[in-house]
């Protein structure tokens, strides 16, 4: 009976994400930040990924965008989830271009699970951008560190790598969204 009261892996990840991202908002649309990891996790759940991958999706930005410690995350959710999150976490000590190049290489050498979280993350980011663009127009690009040109540069480079290393319907979805993103003014 006592075990039933223990939160499962996904429940733990939801609690960590909600707590870590409390009061944060997304730069593209101003929505509560927690909507993003939930959307990424739902995309992966719909594709039939494991609880481990879904949990990692829920906390995929915790190390990068909060002060939640790596040791605590590993202890709370285990080594498998931690390795996925670590593989999709940008190195904030680097300049933007170097950070993005390193990210692409880490994901290239990462597991299928890390690739799944990374692609679902990119898909939701573009979907969010397109919603805001429909409302606000081209001024959306000012919210990004390097503007539209560099954002598209990163997306295309990431796509090239992911097409070489992972076969999954999410890759095709991502490619279609990049094409739509390029057409935005």
pLDDT of residue 6: 54
Calculate the alpha carbon distances from 153 to 24, 73, 78, 148 in Å. 27, 32, 34, 8
Does 91 qualify as catalytic in the annotation? no
Side-chain-side CA neighbours of 87 within 13 Å: the count stands at: 25
Catalytic residue among 29, 51, 65, 113: 65
Among this protein's residues, is 64 annotated catalytic?
yes
Given 11, 64, 105, 182, the catalytic residue:
64
Query: Residue-wise pLDDT tens for the chain (185 aa)?
Result: 344 555 699 999 999 999 999 999 998 788 999 999 999 999 999 999 999 999 999 999 999 999 999 999 999 999 999 999 999 999 999 999 999 999 999 999 999 999 999 999 999 999 999 999 999 999 888 888 788 999 999 999 999 999 999 999 999 999 999 999 999 99
Distance CA 133, CA 140 (A): 6
Catalogue all structural domains in the chain, each as residue range(s) with its CATH number: 2-183 (1.10.3210.10)
Cα separation, 160 vs 104, in Å, equals 10
To 5 degrees, how large is the angle CA 33–CA 124–CA 164?
135
């Amino acid at each position: 009976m006592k075990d039933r009261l223990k939160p499962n892996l996904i429940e733990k990840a939801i609690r960590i994400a909600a707590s870590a991202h409390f009061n944060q908002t997304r730069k593209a649309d101003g929505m509560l930040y927690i909507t993003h990891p939930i959307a990424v996790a739902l995309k992966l759940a719909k594709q039939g990924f494991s609880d481990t991958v879904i949990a990692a999706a829920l906390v995929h930005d915790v190390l990068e965008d909060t002060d939640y410690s790596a040791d605590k995350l590993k202890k709370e959710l285990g080594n498998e989830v931690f390795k996925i999150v670590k593989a999709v976490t940008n190195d904030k000590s680097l300049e933007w271009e170097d950070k993005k190049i390193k990210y692409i290489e880490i994901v290239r050498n990462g597991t299928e699970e890390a690739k799944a979280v990374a692609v679902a993350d990119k898909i939701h980011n573009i979907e969010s951008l397109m919603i805001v663009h429909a409302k606000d127009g081209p001024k959306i690009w000012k919210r990004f560190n390097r503007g539209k040109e560099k954002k598209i540069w990163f997306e295309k480079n990431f796509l090239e790598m992911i097409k070489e290393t992972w076969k999954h319907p999410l890759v095709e979805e991502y490619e279609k969204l990049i094409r739509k993103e390029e057409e935005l003014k």
